[in-house]
Structure 1
């Protein structure tokens, strides 16, 4: 399968061998590849060209990948992020996802796994613009603009969403009142062949609830449907 050569991926890693290996793999797969060894070089690259995706190592000199991911997520126009790390503890994965990473890959990883994860994230972001640009969804005093990945509250305050959060909320507003299992949510947001963590949905929903002001202990907008998954309870209007 020939991949659109215009798709650009920025690889941020201070290990020169990994940087070269991943860059060569991306080029062989038809992507345009950019490289950076630290946060400063990453931001310098971003001033020159906006990539479609960033592969971001956690253990970097100076500002680490977690801090850089947090900073990137403060910009609603930032590209999706896949974190790369030798840290394989669950807490590290959760921290990465909580900070807004779209996926988290543990080193060492195989060629096929990396490309599959990249394709899945690109499919949910840069390659899904047509699906995302579907007007404005209104519910419970909120407005949701999937094309811009934004939530707007009743005071017109704009709350940026990550790619994963926006994709998940889009599934909910298009399927209100319907209990959705984790497997179904994963399939509808990440694709059936995705190798993403099957518990990542829980982290994304926790972040969505916080941004919606939905109580973690007694949520009213995204309720836990015991034995079934989750249910979006609000009536939704599309304008």
Structure 2
């Protein structure tokens, strides 16, 4: 059954582009594709895909430049950057060029599909709205934007991913291991201390009093719960 979700695959490696497109078509997605930075902007703006898989390194214009251009032209849907594994993704200046998320190369195809399914879940649940509202905040994960009390707050890619998962699972107890798998995928180098550090940083950005959090509550010995009331 077709999901009626369109994915653009922008990748200059012909073999990888074929494999990704073939797998996504097999999963029921509509797929459009191109191989260069020069063609990417026109493809995104004309096809208006629900999700863009955009390679960081492309001939002509590179991924970050393309991302910024289409954001400036009003494209507000999900853009997932495909990056080299050696890059420190948490330091990518995503907030300024508008990437929604990332996947590192080389990636397991099942991991990529799971990441896309996570975005589709948000698209379906959100209906026509791309904005999640809670308290005095508005979170637009597609464009990596959080507005608190009328002021923009900068989120890293990983903070954006954590917050999105919390908002998809409001009031549910989420185990640390589950959250780590969602945020970092199959990366076995990540430990609970790293996760907790990101939670602390995110609390400082969204909580009025991070020491006694209202939204991102710790469930001792298990993980966390996001309380939206």
Matched, 1:121 2:119: yes
Of the three residues 117, 138, 144, the one matched with 1:144 is 138
The question of whether the paired residues in 2 share the 8 Å contact of 1:129 and 1:147 is answered with no
Provide the residue aligned with 1:64 in structure 2. Answer: 62
Q: CA 1:37 to 1:148, structure 2 compared with 1: closer, same or farther past 3 Å?
A: closer
What is the root-mean-square deviation in Å for CA atoms of aligned residues? 4.7
Q: CA 1:84 to 1:203, structure 2 compared with 1: closer, same or farther past 3 Å?
A: farther
The question of whether the paired residues in 2 share the 8 Å contact of 1:76 and 1:160 is answered with no
Of the three residues 26, 32, 35, the one matched with 1:28 is 26
Q: How does 1:67-216 map to 2 (within 5 A)?
A: 67-69=65-67, 78-85=76-83, 87-89=84-86, 91-96=87-92, 100-107=99-106, 109-123=107-121, 125-129=122-126, 136-138=133-135, 142-144=136-138, 151-154=146-149, 156-157=150-151, 164=161, 166-168=163-165, 170=167, 174-175=170-171, 181-186=175-180, 190=182, 195=185, 197=187, 199=190, 205=199, 208=202, 212=206
Q: CA 1:94 to 1:75, structure 2 compared with 1: closer, same or farther past 3 Å?
A: farther
TM-score, normalised by the number of residues in structure 1: 0.61
Q: CA 1:45 to 1:184, structure 2 compared with 1: closer, same or farther past 3 Å?
A: same
SS across alignment from 1:128: helix
Distance in 1 separating the partners of 2:93 and 2:217 = 20
The question of whether the paired residues in 1 share the 8 Å contact of 2:34 and 2:43 is answered with yes
The question of whether the paired residues in 2 share the 8 Å contact of 1:55 and 1:81 is answered with yes
Structure 2: which 5+ runs fail to align?
Answer: none
Q: CA 1:13 to 1:227, structure 2 compared with 1: closer, same or farther past 3 Å?
A: same
Q: CA 1:76 to 1:229, structure 2 compared with 1: closer, same or farther past 3 Å?
A: farther
The question of whether the paired residues in 1 share the 8 Å contact of 2:175 and 2:222 is answered with yes
Distance in 1 separating the partners of 2:167 and 2:69 = 24
Aligned residues between the structures = 215
State which drifts further: 26-35 or 94-103: 94-103
Distance in 2 separating the partners of 1:67 and 1:158 = 22
Structure 1: which 5+ runs fail to align?
Answer: none
